[in-house]
Amino acid sequence: MYKKILKTLFTFGIVFSLAIMYISSKVPDNLYINYGQDINIGSIPIVTFKPKEKEAPSRQIQTNNEPLLYSADFLGVFPMKEVVINQTEQRYVSVSGKPFGIKMFCDGVMVVGFSDILTSTGYQNPAKLAGLKIGDIILSMNDENVQTNEDVEKIIKSSKNIPIKISYLHDDEQRTTLLTTVRDVNIDNYRSGMWVRDSGAGIGTMTFYDCSLGFFAGLGHGIKDVDTHKELRLLSGEIVPVKITGLVKSKNGSAGRLKGSFTSSTANGKVLYNGETGVYGKAYSFEKEILMPVATPAEIKTGPAYILTTINGTSPQKYKIEIEKVNLTSKDPIKNMVIRITDPQLLSLTGGILRGFSGSPIIQNDKLVGAVTHVFVNQVDRGYGIFAYNMLNTMDAIAAKQSKKVA
């Protein structure tokens, strides 16, 4: 009898310890809250916070930037880990949900493919032989900067069989190599055996504007080359007005997409950054209709929310969703939430999340909590979202960098 009780208690102890370890792993080492905000995590309500210093208030009423050390406790009783509490000002942004077009020109040209060349001695590929890979960025050829396909073509055609010195980036590491072109017997001209791309264009959804900074933030993920799936290295770019003209519905196994057309060649803003968390830049005009506070990640809960997105014309509409998962410790800065479309009308019209929804604002409890970033191809009513807080931090860094340039 006693052995059975001891065995049960031992098993319970192991399960309980594992549960605490799991929950502790979901609590971040640093938690960001707004001044005056209760210290808790909306998505993990069974965790409470207790100040490590007795004089530290349990509710923040301070207005300084001093980080505070707290104990994260399971059910308010069992200490799990120490957490640094960082206090910030509540930020407000103008929420969008409208479609926008992006035109981008690369800093250098990207290698997007290879094609073997028929020579008098058989098939050859000089670019591969030189060590170039798909996704590499060619910066210069014979010490001349190259920024367009035409720049590359001109140097290749004039080189004949004289080696070309190429400076390029491979996974952000700068390298040099020599490429010797060969004569293509089919066209009687010299070729390199590589295909390159110097620009990109597409449509997405604007997430928000910060009117005080004069900046915009959209997409929630970087613009990638359609062939290499690597982020385009930005030289210059602009955003232009777009009208949604149609769509291809999503179905499990095949993500659909929005169709749109540029309605004007006049730019609405200048793209200054294309990176992991989205597209950012200086706005020439602002939307001020929906001013909303930005939620800290700690405020976000699993449960009902809605997105603002446009599936026809230029006006966004509200559609119901469910936030199924909130991950405060994700190493991927753009996969912070799992969302599911629950709005019957949107599911009927689109089948689920579409390519082009990226950047659609996610709203919960009258706060901007994030933006749609990805669709689950095999379950198209579900996808990932990024914290709006992450996008705002990226925007602040870009704005500060631009401010230093002006100064």
Give every CB contact of residue 17 below 8 A, 6+ residues apart in sequence: none
- For 194, the token pair is 């590589």
Query: How far apart are the C-alpha atoms of 290 and 127, rounded to whole Å?
Result: 51
Residue 95: closest CA among 213, 214, 207: 207
Q: What residues pair up with 208 in beta bridges, in sequence order?
A: 95, 217
Decide if 283 contacts 214 (C-beta within 8 A).
yes
Scanning 170-285, the segments in alpha helix (DSSP H) are none
Q: Counting beta carbons within 10 angstroms of the beta carbon of residue 184, is it exposed (0 to 12), middle (13 to 18) or buried (19 or more)?
A: middle
Radius of gyration of the chain (CA): 26
269 and 241 in contact (C-beta within 8 Å)? Answer: no
Residue 377 CB coordination number (10 Å): 14
Contacts of 290 (CB under 8 A, 6+ apart): 94, 95, 96, 308
State how far Cα 125 lies from the chain centre: 35
The secondary structure element, H or E, covering residue 370 is strand 367-375
Q: How far apart are the first and last CA of the chain?
A: 79
SS3 assignment, position 74: strand
Three-state SS for 151?
A: helix
For residues 229 and 113, is the Cβ–Cβ distance under 8 A?
no
Helix or strand holding residue 3 (H, E): helix 2-25
Give residues with Cβ within 8 angstroms of 161, minimum separation 6.
Answer: 180, 181, 182, 183, 190
Q: Which tokens is 304 given?
A: 């009902």
260, β-bridge pairs: 244
What residues are labeled active site? 221, 343, 358
Kindly give the residue spans of alpha helices, DSSP state H, lying in 323-387: 344-350
